[in-house]
Copies of this chain bind each other. A is one copy, B any other.
């Protein structure tokens, strides 16, 4: 069933070809691209992928304060295990490879990281604990540390790359690179935030989501870094789901890259910063969900008037992860009965006679049954949109929450059954 050479061979692997050929409808038309200050970006073709760049090395001018969150999986990859043991909250070098997840590779996987991390630390002159590593790609395959060490030897200030190159080098089945840049204008100061990430398959918000790196051009305390995360993670990366599968490798890291001192206690400076962070993280997480494997339609679920955020998220994910809802949206069928069934599956205690469901602005049911005055012509037309918004008013409290997912189409099966990933 693996059609590894069914299309014209460009020297690319099947996944590389697949990504190039089937760019998501939602792919951005153009990108901002910059060479940020305070750190250098290098990318290489190390050989994990057939042809494209697959190794990112970011070197900071000095060890920068860093906060990370990892997948809640109980089968963490070697890089997650390694980072948790070694990293102490300061990073001089970030090393990310794509194409091999170094997951379920046992003691050898850890040994491999030790080898290339030690090599890097000697090369640059920093502590091993100041290295942060990530890997993404196929689970269960070993690789030799030489593959990375050989590229470290090629680091050359003359070949510095851009933030867009960095985003490209960490892609796997992503069909487009994901970057976001924000300028934060404070009272007496201004700074930039640069974010890159990758996603695509195995996206489910048990924590962070796949690989996300955010570089903030300021000297932030550990407390501020953690607060920025806790303020913004739940409503961004923890509110998306492509296929309800959770990765072994999910990692989000926040780097405080500059020594620019800013007083966060005055002039609403922190509010402005966290708002920019929200915008950036929302933007990146939207880019991830919009590039879900096989996506044809983006599904936005608004849960309104819930008794708690927990309840709203539980119901929202129950709907957006339901294969029957996902296939209905794929088929452009406003099958609200499946939405009701998915609400019920959450097992949240609700009075079904109080619930209203909308597809876009079209009320499809209320008072426990169908809206008889439904305009089916409008509804059918609405379902042809690329973004389908389903709003559920629970009338069970005062909390609103929105989650995002995508439809389940033949394309998802094609990517995951017909090709090896």
By the criterion CB–CB under 8 Å, are A246 and B206 in contact? Answer: no
Copies in the complex: 2
Q: Are B345 and A104 in contact (CB under 8 A)?
A: no
Q: Complex Cα distance A417/B76, Å? A: 35
Which of B139, B322, B365, B408 is in CB contact (< 8 Å) with A104?
B365
Residues of A within 8 A of B (CB): 1-2, 71-76, 101, 103-109, 138-142, 201-202, 204, 206, 243-248, 321-324, 327-328, 330-333, 335-338, 340-350, 352-353, 365, 367-370, 407-410, 412-414, 416-421
Q: Are B417 and A328 neighbours in the complex by a CB distance under 8 Å?
A: yes
Question: Which of B1, B74, B245 is in CB contact (< 8 Å) with A347?
Answer: B74
Indicate whether A328 sits within 8 Å of B416 (C-beta atoms), given known contacts A1-B333, A141-B370, A369-B140: yes
A37 CB, min distance to chain B CBs, angstroms: 38
In the complex, how many angstroms separate the beta carbon of A249 from the nearest chain B beta carbon? 9
Query: By the criterion CB–CB under 8 Å, are B341 and A202 in contact?
Result: yes
Q: Is B417 a contact of A345 with CB atoms below 8 Å?
A: no
Contacts of A408 in B (CB 8 A): 323, 413, 417
Interface of A is mostly: loop
Chain B contacts for A412, CB-based, 8 A: 323, 327
Q: Which 3 A-B pairs have the closest CB atoms?
A: A139-B337, A75-B344, A106-B368
Query: Do A341 and B138 touch across chains, with their CB atoms under 8 A apart?
Result: no
A344-B140 Cα distance, complex, nearest whole Å: 14
Residues on B with beta carbons closer than 8 Å to the beta carbon of A340: 75, 103-104, 139-140, 248
Complex alpha-carbon distance, A417 and B336, angstroms: 14
Residues of B within 8 A of A331 (CB): 1-2, 416-420
CB nearest neighbor in B for A322? B245
Select from chain B the residue with minimum beta-carbon distance to A76. Answer: B344
Residue ID in chain B nearest A414 by CB atoms: B410
Contact B416 A413 (CB under 8 A): no
CB-based contact B417/A74 at 8 Å: no
B residues within 8 A CB of A139? 337-338, 340-341
Contacts A75-B352, A410-B413 supplied; 6 other A-B pairs, CB < 8 Å: A72-B347, A105-B368, A106-B368, A246-B345, A248-B340, A327-B416
Q: Which residues of B contact A328 (CB under 8 A)?
A: 416-417
Q: Which residues of B contact A108 (CB under 8 A)?
A: 369
Q: Which of B140, B248, B413 contacts A327 (CB 8 A)?
A: B413
**Residues A74 and B368 in contact, CB atoms below 8 Å apart:** no
What are 24 A-B contacts defined by CB distance under 8 Å?
A: A2-B333, A71-B344, A74-B347, A74-B348, A75-B341, A103-B340, A103-B341, A108-B369, A244-B321, A244-B322, A244-B323, A245-B322, A245-B323, A245-B342, A246-B345, A248-B344, A323-B323, A327-B417, A330-B417, A331-B416, A331-B418, A408-B413, A410-B410, A413-B413
